[in-house]
Amino acid sequence: MLAAIRPDSWNYALFLHVLGAMILVGALVTAGTAQVLSWRRSDGSDSAAFARLEFRTLLFVGVPAWFAMRIGAEWIYSKEKWADVPNEPDWLGVGYITADLGGILLLVSVVLAGFGARRLARADGGSTILARSAGVIALVVLALYLVAVWAMTAKPG
C-alpha cells in the first residue's frame, strides 16, 4: 500500500527510490546510534570503536544508498513528466530540498567521521569533537529525511 496503482514501468524507479531511502535512513540510524553511545562512555577505546563504526556505515552504506535514492527520484521524475508541469507540487519541492541538502550534509559527516575516527585511533582516546560533529550532522540528516518521508507519503499541497 505504499502508493497508488501506477504503470509497471514507473514501479522499478519507485522501488529503487524507496529502497535507497530506506537503507539510507537505516545507515543514519546506525551511525547516529553509534555516536550517541560513544557520548555516554568515557572509555577512549569505546569512542574509537564507535567512531570507526559510524564512519564505515556512513561511507559504505549511507553514500551508496543516497545515490540509489537520488537516481530513483530522478528516474521517476522523468517517468511522471513533472518537468512539463508548470507549478510543481510542494511535496516535490520538499523532496528535492531535503534530498540534496541531506546529500551535502551526509558528505560533510562522512569526511568529519573519517578524520574523527582516524584521530581517535591515533591518539587512543583523544578529542572526539570531529566524530561528535559527524554524529550530530547524521542525526540532523535523519530528521530531514523523516520530514521527506512525511512529504512523500502525505503529499501536502
Q: Measure the CA angle with vertex 86, ends 85 and 88; round to 5°.
A: 70
8-state DSSP, 59:
I
Binding residue count for another protein, defined by CB under 8 A? 35
20 secondary structure, DSSP code: H
Q: Is 98 in the site for another protein (CB under 8 A)?
A: no
9, 33, 42, 77: residue in contact with another protein (rule CB under 8 A): 33
Distance of alpha carbon 50 from alpha carbon 56, whole angstroms = 10
* Cβ distance to another protein smaller for residue 25 or 137: 25
Which residue number, 41 or 84, has a Cβ lying nearer to another protein?
41
Q: Residue from 9, 42, 61, 101 that binds another protein (CB under 8 A)?
A: 61
Give me 128's grid cell. 572526539
Of 17-25, 70-78, 95-103, 131-139, which part binds another protein (CB under 8 A)?
A: 17-25
Is residue 42 at the binding interface for another protein, with CB under 8 A as the rule?
A: no
C-alpha cell at 43: 572509555
Q: Cβ(76)–Cβ(156) under 8 Å? A: no
The residue from 9, 81, 86, 154 that contacts another protein (CB under 8 A) is 154
